[in-house]
Amino acid sequence: MCTRYVVAVNDTRSSGNALAWARARARRTHIPLITVRVEPDSDTTTAGSSEEIVLRGPISHTLAGFAQSDDLLVIGTGKTGFIHARGYGARGIQIASTVRSSVAVIPDVDLRFRTGVVAGIDHAATAVLVASVADADAAALGEPLQLIHSSFGRSTPANAADTRSELAAATAAVKERWPTVVVRSRSTSRPAPEALLDASRNATLLVLGPGCSQPDSPFALVIHDVLVNINAPVLIARTAVNEPASSFGHLSISGEG
């Protein structure tokens, strides 16, 4: 599970939104939170306020080096997406693709009237991880969970069978850990970024898998396209970030073609 929230801060509104999101999550999960400010014009590390660490060096490299594998690194981005955002915005995709910890990217959007958690299920190796992270959030918030798998580019019967297997594995993980969560699983032939962004438009959270180290890999491209057009908080899960459930109840699952 995640053992610490690390929030990258600067003096922008998007940074404040990310900090507020992380603080609310920390209160809910009882996990410690620290803030980190990166000053790119020096290579010396100093202490800021009692809750803030000041790091000096290149922003992306410094944050990637500071965050540990069991941290959740939280960064903010402007409402118009990474391409036009200030501060961490232009570097956010690079940070998300290189850091070894899980990463949450928080856009400048109003989350007050949103509901539901969306999870992008890519392949069998990460299906259970992504579903486990997403269903823990859905359970904590008392909100429904939607699992989405894109078959775009998968045209053979074997690949179609893989899609069903990956969704089944993800759903089984939810059923075992959080039986109170209402879950919908859906396979779509639309490109993954398009389907995920459409589903997350009114969601409280979108959870994605860790992708691949190669920048031209299919899921790395999915992460890139989602973050460029971000419309909800996006959590890129590389490790479990929540405690297991302490009690179990009834599970309701519906599948869609």
CATH of the domain at 164: 3.40.50.620
Contact of 106 with 87, CB cutoff 8 Å: no
**Domain end position, chosen among 107, 126, 154:** 107
- 48/29 same-domain check: yes
* CA 180/CA 142 separation, integer angstroms: 9
Residue 173, in any domain of the structure: yes
Q: Are 117 and 146 in contact (CB under 8 A)?
A: yes
Per-residue exposure over 115-137, b if at least 16 CB sit within 10 Å of its own CB, e if not: ebbbbbbbbeebbbbbbbbbbbb
Kindly state whether residues 45 and 75 are assigned to the same domain. yes
Q: Is the dihedral of CA 247, 3, 17, 64 positive or negative?
A: negative
Residue ending a domain, among 107, 127, 144, is: 107
Q: Same structural domain for residues 156 and 93?
A: no
- Please, what are the averages of pLDDT over each run of 10 residues along the chain (257 residues)? 91 91 95 92 54 87 91 83 43 78 92 95 83 92 94 64 75 83 91 95 94 57 87 90 42 38
| Domain annotation covers residue 29 | yes
**In a shared domain, residues 78 and 141:** no
Q: Domain residues for 230?
A: 117-256
Residues 97 and 169 in one domain: no
In this structure, the chain runs to a length of 257
127 and 97 assigned to the same domain: no
The residues with which 253 forms a beta bridge, in sequence order, are: 183
The reply to whether 121 and 95 lie within a common domain is no
Who contacts 158 (Cβ-Cβ below 8 Å, separation ≥6)? none
Q: Are 245 and 177 in contact (CB under 8 A)?
A: yes
Q: What is the pLDDT of residue 184?
A: 92
Within 10 Å of residue 36's Cβ, how many Cβ atoms? Answer: 20
From the list 75, 25, 84, 21, the residue with the least C-alpha distance to 66 is: 75
User: Does residue 210 lie in a domain region?
Assistant: yes
Q: Could you tell me which residues are beta bridge partners of residue 149?
A: 187
Q: How far apart are CA 36 and CA 13, in angstroms?
A: 16
Q: What is residue 255's predicted lDDT score, i.e. its pLDDT?
A: 46
**30 within some domain:** yes
State whether 61 and 130 are in the same domain: no
Residue at a domain's end among 57, 77, 107: 107
Structure tokens at 204: 């409280």
| Full-model pTM | 0.84
What pLDDT score was predicted for residue 245? 37
Q: How many folded domains does the chain comprise?
A: 2
Q: Is residue 112 part of a domain?
A: no
Considering the domain architecture, whether residues 125 and 240 belong to the same structural domain is answered as yes
Cα dist from 21 to 135, 151, 213, whole Å: 18, 32, 28
Q: What is the pLDDT of residue 244?
A: 42
pLDDT of residue 43: 53
**Dihedral (Cα; 242, 120, 231, 241), 10-degree rounding:** 10
The DSSP bridge partners found for residue 33 are 5
Q: Write down the pLDDT at residue 5.
A: 97
190 lies in a domain?
Answer: yes
List all residues 6 or more positions away from 93 whose beta carbon is below 8 Å from its beta carbon. 82, 223, 224, 227, 228
Compute CA distances 133 → 59, 72, 90, 117, 173, whole Å.
27, 12, 26, 10, 10
For residue 138, being part of any structural domain is answered with yes
Is there a domain that residue 226 lies in? yes
102 and 122 co-located in one domain:
no
Same domain, 149 and 196: yes
Residues 103 and 122 in one domain: no
